[in-house]
A and B are shown apart, each in its own frame.
Chain A
Amino acid sequence: MPAAVSVRNLQIETTSGVPVVMDVSFQIAPGEVLGVVGESGSGKTTVGLALLGHARRGLRIAGGEVLVGDQDILMLDVEHLRRLRGSTVSYVPQDPASSLNPALRIGIQLREVLQAHAGGGGRDHDERIAETMREVALSDDPTYLRRYPHELSGGQQQRVGLAMAFANRPRLIVLDEPTTGLDVTTQATVLSTVRELAAAHNVAALYVSHDLAVVAALARRVAVMYAGRVVEFGFAEELFESSAHPYTQRLVGAIPRLTGGRSLLGIPGHAPSPGRRPPGCAFAPRCTMHIPECDAQIPPLSPVGPEHSARCIRAVEVMPQTQARAGDPVDVAPAAGSAVLTLENVVARYGKVEVLHSINLQLEHHECLAVVGESGSGKTTTARSIAGLHRDWTGSIRLGDKELETSARSRSTESRRQIQYIFQNPYGSLNPRKTVGETVGQPLAVFGIAKGREADHRVGLMLEQVSLSAAYARRYPDQLSGGERQRVAIARALISSPSILVCDEVTSALDVSVQAAIVELLGQLQRDLGLSMVFVTHNLPLVRSIAQKVVVLSEGSIVEYGETAQVLADPQQPYTQQLIAHTPSLETATAEARVGEQRRPVIER
């Protein structure tokens, strides 16, 4: 079957000539979804946009060709490109909330897409809109089409985005992490909609994501990008079972797994930024299998199996290792039995809305308790009430046997010191005008623990404990990567030697490999320092690597509460079962990849 889209030798550089994306070639068959995976800065989104003939400000497409059918998109002028976009090729952006016009009803926005390209008029368009809405599993009722984007949930907004992209029956559709920020259940349905629509209408789709597990749930073939190049290309299940590039191998190792509490393996080091890439293999500086030959020249993308190729000179040695390189089983020590934190009958409100209904929890000494649920389940409110950041709650929260006041401000200095909070987004939780040293040292001054040289010394030690170096104290947050920022936030929380650490989705803003490193660090610190921890997350498999107990929240109530291993292996409640089934993990990903394998003949019919 001829490829619907074929990309050859795509080169993208900055306007000053620094190469950003080099040598990218691939083909997508009609009805196929091709996954592109990479960490932030790998060039995956840049490639996605190049398929629409677009380069972001400061970048330009320097060479290569993007053939859709037999038309080279890169040769078209502005007017032809405009006609092409939204009709022959279309794009689904990351954030549906900001890609839909908040001032226009969704029906009008869908109609705009049709009017801009398709012929025909009102009646035809009405039919097409209704049809597309049904395809993305939304109501085709005219009153529904009269809604504004803010009247829809995040998942529904993204479906409208999909509907707009599929409305003109394009030949190629580029999806740029469209499920980021959606709940796992919503994500699962959006993913299956994409897969079905692509197959049904013979649309070639390029799905860009940082999450290998998500991509594998959707795409048959996956390209792994690193530092602007495709480093491995192959079937999803092959990447999992016998990856031929050490980078892919490490990415797989970083995916949380449901069975067997294994530690997650992060990837040491940074991906090199454009202009600083080494002359040889770009991954060499971070690679455990590095040999001198790696630095000699950039390894070619060479075949290692049928439709499987990798950019590694030691690919043959890498392939057999994959399964062996999973993390060591985590030794989650049993908790010591005495309750350090007790929640009784906690009811929390936002204004008049009750968001938590009678929560009862107990956190034991040295225990890590995971709080899991979808957005709106009340998990963050629970965490914020414990830390005294959310004030509007009733009931009782006891630290040891001491009753806590509702707000942090009215609590005693000692109880404020005992409970420390780490925020979800490290881009917002550090003051951009303060150096790392000032931020980390602040609790020492506020709690009167140390000052002057003694404080500087402690800050240095603390930074080393979170695997940064003491020299980081002089940096500003904008000189740090997301993972480094989160380490700084952890250092700030731990420097006052608290007994309880509250972690609110601390990895959700980070790449998968960075997430693995942060979770591993937290687990290690918890064991070393004897901390008790409340770990809030929407990612159930992640819990397996760190928590002894898990509590599942739904709509402000506890639906399941028990030992992690037991809850994950044998969930009693349908809600928990559904949550586990929908969360991308190594197991679901490989299972999906196999299902995709069986499905292949059907798609290519």
Chain B
Amino acid sequence: MSQTGQALAEGVGTPTPPVRSSTLVTRAFRLWRTRIGALFVLILVVVAIVGPYVAPHTASEFVAIPNSPPGGDAGVLGTDYLGQDVLSRFLYGGRGILVMAAVSTAIGLVLGVAIGLVAAYTRNALDDVLMRAMDVIMAFPQIMLALVAVSLVGAQTWVIIVAIAVTTAPRVARVARGAAQPVVERDFVAATESMGLSRVRILTGELLPNILGPMMVEASLRLTYSIGVIAALAFLGLSPDPNGANWGTMIQQNQIALATQPWGALTPIIAIALLTMGTGLFGDGIARTAAGIDRERGDE
């Protein structure tokens, strides 16, 4: 048939729609919850990074008599149980927590996604072995494994990071495997298999982009938990520098004066609450947007 050519194609006449300019994250920012979450996180990240440079005093400088309420020599937030400036310690105390939480969560995510994808793709004994191993780790609460590691090796930065990364990975792996399983069954994976694409390329190039949505949600959720665990360890006195400024340590040290000088404990509590709420809201925004996009597409 000579008229096949251009004439037969459905929709050739329709203008090409603009290339999808909005990614998942930019679309998620149309939701207020995402914006508020990102704002909270941004404020605290700025505090943690810039804080030490703008702090009126150093973290361990004696300013006024211990547990003085705000005002005068004691500064805007008063002093803590050793007479140090609460504001300065708050400004110094975020960086450690944030860096450790970010690094350990990132390692846990990479490990977990890799394990989850391999398990979902192989569908054989390796899948079982990997996932049962993950179940064993998950049988223990995260904080307990971290406590065991710290008490065996000592409260060093790398120990805490490894402990949190290793306990984060199985939880991520389970979500990654669940998200990847239906994708593995789809024909475009078989299409790349029939081309002979290497397994690594199939996992990273074909599967991974299709589970990015749930993985971003998981990332923000895991970050929230990591912050909590690190703060909790510090609260128990298990931070790399027990005398250094650290939000978790601050809560523990100043809780006795809660009635007379609440700001010593309340400031770090508010900071941690805002930070975890921020990551949580952000993750929720991403999750809702991803679900909306999938619905529009008629995927899944």
Question: Which B265-283 residues sit within 8 Å CB-CB of chain A?
Answer: none
**Given contacts A431-B210, A524-B4, is CB(A389)–CB(B194) below 8 Å?**
yes
B7-21 to A contact mask, C-beta < 8 Å, 1/0 = 111111110110110
**Could you tell me the distance between the alpha carbons of A520 and B2 in the complex, rounded to whole angstroms?**
11
Question: A478 on the interface (CB 8 Å rule)?
Answer: yes
Question: Which A417-461 residues sit within 8 Å CB-CB of chain B?
Answer: 419-421, 423-425, 427-435, 439, 442-443, 446-447
Question: A93 on the interface (CB 8 Å rule)?
Answer: no
Q: Chain A residues with Cβ under 8 A from B13's Cβ?
A: 269-270, 285
Point out which of B4, B17, B188 has the most chain A C-beta atoms below 10 A from its C-beta: B188
Q: Chain B residues with Cβ under 8 A from A472's Cβ?
A: 16
A499-514 to B contact mask, C-beta < 8 Å, 1/0 = 0000000000000001
Question: A263 on the interface (CB 8 Å rule)?
Answer: yes
What residue in chain A is nearest B209 (Cβ atoms)? A433
Question: A26 on the interface (CB 8 Å rule)?
Answer: no
Q: Chain A residues with Cβ under 8 A from B194's Cβ?
A: 387-389, 408, 416, 419-421
Q: Which of B9, B190, B195, B206 contacts A468 (CB 8 A)?
A: B9
Question: B260 on the interface (CB 8 Å rule)?
Answer: no
Q: Is the CB of B1 within 8 A of A467?
A: no
**Could you tell me the distance between the alpha carbons of A520 and B19 in the complex, rounded to whole angstroms?**
30
Q: Which of B14, B188, B191 contacts A270 (CB 8 A)?
A: B14
Q: Chain B residues with Cβ under 8 A from A430's Cβ?
A: 188
Question: Which B160-212 residues sit within 8 Å CB-CB of chain A?
Answer: 186-188, 190-197, 206, 209-210, 212
**Given contacts A266-B8, A467-B4, is CB(A476)–CB(B188) below 8 Å?**
no
**Given contacts A431-B210, A520-B1, A520-B4, is CB(A416)–CB(B9) below 8 Å?**
no
Question: B72 on the interface (CB 8 Å rule)?
Answer: no
Q: Chain A residues with Cβ under 8 A from B124's Cβ?
A: none
Question: Which B1-44 residues sit within 8 Å CB-CB of chain A?
Answer: 1, 4-14, 16-17, 19-20
Q: Is the CB of A467 within 8 A of B297?
A: no
Question: A484 on the interface (CB 8 Å rule)?
Answer: yes
Q: Is the CB of A446 within 8 A of B297?
A: no
Q: Is the CB of A416 within 8 A of B196?
A: yes
Q: Is the CB of B12 within 8 A of A447?
A: no
**Could you tell me the distance between the alpha carbons of A544 and B80 in the complex, rounded to whole angstroms?**
89
Q: Chain B residues with Cβ under 8 A from A408's Cβ?
A: 193-196
B208-226 to A contact mask, C-beta < 8 Å, 1/0 = 0110100000000000000
Q: Is the CB of B10 within 8 A of A474?
A: no
Question: A268 on the interface (CB 8 Å rule)?
Answer: yes
**Could you tell me the distance between the alpha carbons of A474 and B11 in the complex, rounded to whole angstroms?**
15
Q: Is the CB of A428 within 8 A of B188?
A: yes
**Could you tell me the distance between the alpha carbons of A238 and B296 in the complex, rounded to whole angstroms?**
40
What residue in chain A is nearest B213 (Cβ atoms)? A433
What residue in chain A is nearest B188 (Cβ atoms)? A431
Q: Chain A residues with Cβ under 8 A from B193's Cβ?
A: 389, 408-409
Q: Chain B residues with Cβ under 8 A from A489's Cβ?
A: 191
Q: Chain B residues with Cβ under 8 A from A428's Cβ?
A: 186-188
**Could you tell me the distance between the alpha carbons of A433 and B23 in the complex, rounded to whole angstroms?**
11
**Could you tell me the distance between the alpha carbons of A328 and B297 in the complex, rounded to whole angstroms?**
38
Interface size range of chain A in the complex: 35 or more
**Could you tell me the distance between the alpha carbons of A479 and B187 in the complex, rounded to whole angstroms?**
19
Question: A125 on the interface (CB 8 Å rule)?
Answer: no
Q: Which of A431, A442, A467 contacts B9 (CB 8 A)?
A: A467
**Could you tell me the distance between the alpha carbons of A476 and B21 in the complex, rounded to whole angstroms?**
11
What residue in chain A is nearest B11 (Cβ atoms)? A270
Q: Is the CB of A423 within 8 A of B11?
A: no
Q: Chain A residues with Cβ under 8 A from B192's Cβ?
A: 442, 446
**Min distance, Cβ A405 to any Cβ of chain B, angstroms:** 11
Q: Chain A residues with Cβ under 8 A from B206's Cβ?
A: 431
What residue in chain B is nearest A431 (Cβ atoms)? B188
Q: Is the CB of B297 within 8 A of A432?
A: yes
Q: Chain A residues with Cβ under 8 A from B196's Cβ?
A: 408-409, 411, 413, 416, 446
Question: A481 on the interface (CB 8 Å rule)?
Answer: yes
Q: Chain B residues with Cβ under 8 A from A517's Cβ?
A: 8-10
A459-483 to B contact mask, C-beta < 8 Å, 1/0 = 0000010111101101110111101
Q: Is the CB of B188 within 8 A of A481?
A: no
**Min distance, Cβ A388 to any Cβ of chain B, angstroms:** 6
Q: Is the CB of A429 within 8 A of B210?
A: no
Point out which of B7, B9, B10, B196 has the most chain A C-beta atoms below 10 A from its C-beta: B10
Question: Which A242-284 residues sit within 8 Å CB-CB of chain B?
Answer: 263, 266, 268-270
Q: Which of B12, B16, B195, B210 contacts A433 (CB 8 A)?
A: B210
**Given contacts A270-B11, A428-B186, A467-B9, is CB(A442)–CB(B17) below 8 Å?**
no
**Given contacts A442-B192, A442-B195, is CB(A479)–CB(B17) below 8 Å?**
yes
Point out which of B192, B195, B210, B212 has the most chain A C-beta atoms below 10 A from its C-beta: B195
**Could you tell me the distance between the alpha carbons of A578 and B9 in the complex, rounded to whole angstroms?**
35
What residue in chain A is nearest B201 (Cβ atoms)? A446
What residue in chain B is nearest A413 (Cβ atoms)? B196
**Could you tell me the distance between the alpha carbons of A475 and B10 in the complex, rounded to whole angstroms?**
15
B277-300 to A contact mask, C-beta < 8 Å, 1/0 = 000000000000000000011110
Q: Is the CB of B195 within 8 A of A446?
A: yes
**Could you tell me the distance between the alpha carbons of A573 and B297 in the complex, rounded to whole angstroms?**
45
Question: A318 on the interface (CB 8 Å rule)?
Answer: no
Question: A521 on the interface (CB 8 Å rule)?
Answer: yes
**Could you tell me the distance between the alpha carbons of A446 and B196 in the complex, rounded to whole angstroms?**
8
Q: Chain B residues with Cβ under 8 A from A481's Cβ?
A: 10-11
Q: Is the CB of A471 within 8 A of B16?
A: yes
Q: Is the CB of B9 within 8 A of A484?
A: yes
**Given contacts A387-B194, A408-B193, is CB(A423)–CB(B187) below 8 Å?**
yes
Q: Is the CB of A484 within 8 A of B210?
A: no
What residue in chain A is nearest B16 (Cβ atoms)? A471
**Min distance, Cβ B197 to any Cβ of chain A, angstroms:** 6
What residue in chain B is nearest A513 (Cβ atoms)? B10
Question: A220 on the interface (CB 8 Å rule)?
Answer: no
What residue in chain A is nearest B15 (Cβ atoms)? A471
Could you jot down 25 A-B contacts, CB within 8 Å? A270-B14, A389-B194, A409-B193, A420-B194, A421-B194, A429-B186, A429-B188, A429-B190, A429-B191, A432-B297, A432-B299, A433-B210, A447-B195, A467-B4, A467-B5, A468-B9, A468-B12, A471-B16, A474-B16, A475-B17, A475-B19, A517-B8, A517-B9, A524-B1, A524-B4
Interface of A toward B, CB cutoff 8 Å: 263, 266, 268-270, 285, 327-328, 387-389, 408-409, 411, 413, 416, 419-421, 423-425, 427-435, 439, 442-443, 446-447, 464, 466-469, 471-472, 474-476, 478-481, 483-484, 487, 489, 492, 514, 517, 520-521, 524
Nearest 3 A/B pairs, CB to CB: A467-B9, A429-B187, A433-B209
| 18 additional contacts (CB under 8 A) given A409-B196, A520-B1 | A266-B8, A269-B11, A285-B13, A327-B1, A328-B1, A389-B190, A416-B195, A420-B194, A421-B194, A431-B188, A432-B210, A447-B195, A467-B6, A467-B8, A469-B12, A472-B16, A484-B10, A514-B10
